Structure 1
């Protein structure tokens, strides 16, 4: 492999990683509108980065035989999870108590990370068939999605300060819209 070919592959993987990480950015923007501490934002970004490594690895290892069936299933599951999270945030914004039903802590964080990394599973199936370098691919996906998640969460936190009590409803609507977008062809 020549250095030119390696750079071309690196650029291609980076573009794919940014495309995959944009959903983490968008959802992070919505989720950042609930009150989160910087430590939570750090852990959320790391967790989503890890899921963006694990899910494509799983997709790569499942392989060519099941790609069409699991690709659609993963997208549907991710869309449904985002819709549920978005609805929950919107409903919680109208309640008197400040505690949302699902928070990005513990199991809620796992659900959140799973919902934004489902498309990585499908991409992993495709990339595995294409024959890309596994380590380089999954590390690029994980690092880029982690950074984009942090940017989204921090931007959402800033917006939350500007929008006050309406921020959680707006964040929920962003998650809801993104979930619906995943479900529509």
Structure 2
């Protein structure tokens, strides 16, 4: 494997984990509900698909923007990641966290959209940086699906002990990647 390929793959894996942390933390809370394994499987697949669709749309828009604005686009992408990370960290300090919605029908759609919105922003910034789209999408979808399953299954047992900390960790990682893009 070439060094250049590894140099792109490792940060993408770390970013995929950071993006999946949101789904993991929300899954912990949702796992407190009585969910069958079949429903947990379907929720994970749905979240994984949304973590492929949303960054794909972001990457396509980011590619378009970057061809038009070049240097400004790279700076904007880094700022977007950093801002998203700060937002995730600040959300962990909210006094009251809402109880999760039912993961059926429109509730499942809203859940999948809410935990994948940050991947749209990340996709937008990655599209501006010219990353390998197919690999990024597979990593984002796979890790978010696996972390959703882990959160739902652990939530059945753990009563939400890790939720706040996992979201904060994901936010810090996104901030770090945003700063890396901005400062090179």
Shorter-chain TM-score above 0.5: yes
Matched, 1:17 2:20: no
Identify if the C-alpha distance between structure 1 residues 158 and 88 changes in structure 2 by more than 3 Å, giving closer, same or farther. closer
Matched, 1:51 2:50: yes
Matched, 1:87 2:95: no
2:36 aligned partner = 37
1:98 aligned partner = none
Counterpart mapping for 1:1-185 below 5 A: 3-63=2-62, 64=65, 86-89=97-100, 102-159=101-158
Residue deviations 1:106-138, cap 9 Å, x none?
A: 110010011111100000011000000111111
Residue deviations 1:124-163, cap 9 Å, x none?
A: 011000000111111110001111111111000113xxxx
Q: TM-score, normalised by structure 1?
A: 0.69
**Equivalent residue of 2:98, what SS?**
helix
Residue deviations 1:67-111, cap 9 Å, x none?
A: 86xx69xx6xx98xxx9xx5354xxxxxxxxxxxx3101110010
After TM superposition, give the deviation of residue 22 of structure 1 in Å: 0.8
Unaligned runs of 5+ in 2: 89-93, 172-184
CA RMSD of aligned residues (A): 3.6
CA distance in 2: counterparts of 1:12 and 1:111, whole angstroms: 28
Unaligned runs of 5+ in 1: 90-101, 160-166
Aligned residues: 154
Q: TM-score, normalised by structure 2?
A: 0.69
